[in-house]
């Protein structure tokens, strides 16, 4: 009986899975999970709402992101947008969000829509990320995986 050797998932060309392990256009939002630049066991949930351009960023424990300013979001939202564009293309991202012209930056997307910081619970987005991980992990082994490192606590 041939043994099943899991192949690594093919990675889209320009996406940085270390930095942004999860990004999607879903439920009227561009939303994603972004690794913290400073702490290996913290992630941020970033999102931009279609139509309004309203945006938010917080840790998976709902602590507001300290870098979340007034007009253009934070560096996590910026990373999320970069990776969304790498995955979906600038045109599709702009169309989904309702921006007339393709934009290549978070500032451009949010600015075109006139969005403002608007609190959204990170939990609902983070739960989708965990579901997604469960899905992609299914055929793989039970060995510890480096990309799961931030879930280790204590
Ligand atoms: Zn942030």
Is 53 a domain residue? yes
83-88: long-range contacts, CB 8 A cutoff, minimum separation 24: 83/15, 83/16, 83/19, 83/20, 83/23, 83/32, 84/23, 84/25, 84/30, 84/32, 86/12, 86/13, 86/14, 86/15, 86/16, 87/12, 87/15, 87/23, 88/25
Residue 148 confidence (pLDDT) = 56
CA of 66 to the centre of ligand 1 (A): 7
Which pLDDT score is estimated for 96?
Answer: 98
What is the whole-number distance in angstroms between the Cα of residue 76 and the centre of ligand 1?
4
Token pair, residue 133, equals 């991980």
Structure tokens at 135: 């899905």
Task: Tell me how far the alpha carbon of residue 68 lies from the centroid of ligand 1, in angstroms.
Answer: 6
* Residue 2 maps to a domain: no
What integer pLDDT is reported at residue 154 of this predicted model? 43
Distance CA 67, CA 79 (A): 13
> 3 C-alpha vs ligand 1 centroid, how far in Å?
43
Counting the structural domains of the chain, the total is: 1
- Confirm whether 117 is domain-assigned: yes
CA of 146 to the centre of ligand 1 (A): 23
Ligand 1 centroid from CA 75, angstroms: 6
Residue 139 predicted with pLDDT over 80: no
State the pLDDT at residue 153. 47
Residue 128 lies in domain: 22-148
Q: What is the pLDDT of residues 80-123, one digit of tens each?
A: 999 999 999 999 999 999 999 999 999 999 999 999 999 989 99
- Whether 109 is covered by a domain: the verdict is yes
The residue to which tokens 């899991």 are assigned:
6
Strand order in the sheet with 43-49: 22-26, 29-35, 43-49, 55-59
Instruction: Read off the pLDDT of residues 17-62 as tens digits, 9 standing for 90 and up.
Output: 788 989 999 999 999 999 987 777 789 999 999 999 999 999 988 9
Q: Is residue 154 part of a domain?
A: no
56 Cα–ligand 1 center, Å: 8
Answer yes or no: is 14 within a domain.
no
1 Cα: distance to centroid of ligand 1 (angstroms): 49
Distance 119 CA to ligand 1 centre (A): 12
Is residue 153 included in any domain, yes or no? Answer: no
């Amino acid at each position: 009986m041939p043994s099943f050797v899991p192949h690594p998932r093919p990675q889209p060309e320009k996406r940085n899975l270390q930095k942004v392990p999860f990004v999607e256009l879903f439920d009227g939002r561009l939303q994603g999970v972004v690794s913290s630049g400073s702490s290996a066991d913290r992630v941020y949930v970033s999102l931009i709402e279609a139509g309004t351009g309203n945006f938010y960023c917080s840790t998976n424990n709902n602590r507001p992101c300290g870098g979340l300013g007034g007009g253009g979001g934070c560096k996590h939202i910026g990373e999320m947008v970069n990776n969304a564009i790498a995955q979906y293309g600038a045109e599709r991202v702009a169309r989904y969000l309702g921006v007339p012209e393709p934009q290549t930056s978070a500032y451009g997307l949010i600015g075109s829509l006139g969005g403002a910081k608007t609190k959204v619970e990170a939990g609902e987005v983070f739960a989708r990320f965990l579901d997604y991980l469960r899905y992609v992990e299914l055929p793989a082994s039970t060995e510890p995986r480096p990309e799961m490192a931030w879930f280790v606590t204590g």
